[in-house]
Amino acid sequence: MARRRRTALGGDGVERGGLDAVADILGSADPAVLSGAGISTESGIPDYRGPASARRDVRPITYQEFVRDAAARRRYWARSFAGWPFMDAREPNDGHRAVAALEAAGLVVGVVTQNVDGLHQRAGSRNVVELHGSLARVRCLSCGAVEARAVLQERLAALNPGFVAVAPRYAPDGDADVPHELVAAFRVAPCFVCGGVLKPLVVFFGENVPKETYEAARDMVAGAGALVVVGSSLTVRSGYRFVLQAKAAGKPVAIVNDGPTRADAEADVKVEGRLGELLPALAARVL
């Protein structure tokens, strides 16, 4: 196994030896990229486990709460209605664009992302597996009909014409702070086909990744020569297992992240710092 390398920061904050080792992997191994919330924080989207997350008290809704409790669904959709304009306005940052440029140049085979914001695709990435789904669509739990989130936003606005929320805090899953009295009066839109319960097409906490999605991600990693993790603490096993898959197959694993990760011991090279700086610097070495 390759010797793990962690080098000191240079004068500009970039770990030069570490990035050179990652560049070697990009240039010789046809890696897949596994991305997490850390790549989107510089687009303004908060995360649950990054360096700033300890300063936030945000508990995400669980799948079990959502499906069994109408009050929990009302709270979720009220907060989502308030938070959607913020999420919809986010733009890709230099980290997303660097990953897209690497894919376009044929230096990575594709991206498995734990993010639900769609920013990889908006930056130009084409071969993307959204491991935890996408906020941009909703699906009926009864009939399976799918609706664009932007269209649902219009229906929710029509049902709640007097809704005004001041939302100083946003959560990683796209919702926002909403006063209790607004939640209590919020009207939830039903499925436009059958009148059933709508759920965002994302994997909630306590919910399993769909089999076909997992298989697509597994196959991408299996077909790659290495794995490069960007912006993920790998705390959730749905992402960490792809590191284990790569290592079991004898493939190198590189991690570029702002902080520690669950897989630091498995990494062949680890580089720490801001993704918006490190990923463009990495791309500049190989493009």
Series of mean pLDDT values for 10-residue runs along the chain (287 residues): 38 57 94 97 79 52 95 95 93 98 98 97 98 97 98 97 75 76 94 98 94 98 98 94 98 95 94 96 96
Give the pTM: 0.89
Contact present, 96 and 39 (Cβ < 8 Å): yes
List phi, psi (to 5°) of 169: -125, 135
The tokens for 191 are: 């499925």
- 15-45+93-132+208-287 CATH: 3.40.50.1220
- Which residue has tokens 């709270």? 75
List, in sequence order, every residue forming a beta bridge with 35; answer none if it has no partner: 113, 230
C-alpha to C-alpha distance for 235 and 89, rounded to whole angstroms:
28
The helix (H) or strand (E) run that includes residue 129 is strand 128-130
- Is domain 55-89+134-202 given the CATH code 3.40.50 in the classification? no
The pLDDT tens digits of the residues spanning 46-88 come to 876 544 444 445 567 899 999 999 999 999 999 999 999 999 9
Q: What is the pLDDT of residue 239?
A: 94
Q: What is the pLDDT of residue 173?
A: 67
C-alpha to C-alpha distance for 91 and 43, rounded to whole angstroms:
6
C-alpha to C-alpha distance for 54 and 204, rounded to whole angstroms:
21
The tokens for 145 are: 């009909």
Q: What is the pLDDT of residue 137?
A: 98
Q: What is the pLDDT of residue 192?
A: 97
Q: What is the pLDDT of residue 60?
A: 79
Q: What is the pLDDT of residue 4?
A: 40
Q: What is the pLDDT of residue 176?
A: 82
C-alpha to C-alpha distance for 256 and 238, rounded to whole angstroms:
18
Question: Which residues are the active-site residues?
Answer: 132
Give the number of other Cβ atoms within 10 Å of residue 163's Cβ: 16
List, in sequence order, every residue forming a beta bridge with 112; answer none if it has no partner: 34, 129
Contact present, 146 and 138 (Cβ < 8 Å): yes
List, in sequence order, every residue forming a beta bridge with 198; answer none if it has no partner: 140
C-alpha to C-alpha distance for 206 and 65, rounded to whole angstroms:
9
Q: What is the pLDDT of residue 164?
A: 78
Which string of DSSP letters, residue by residue, matches 30-79? --EEEE-GGGTGGGT---SSSTTGGG----PPBHHHHHH-HHHHHHHHHH
The helix (H) or strand (E) run that includes residue 283 is helix 275-286
Domain locations along the chain:
15-45+93-132+208-287, 55-89+134-202
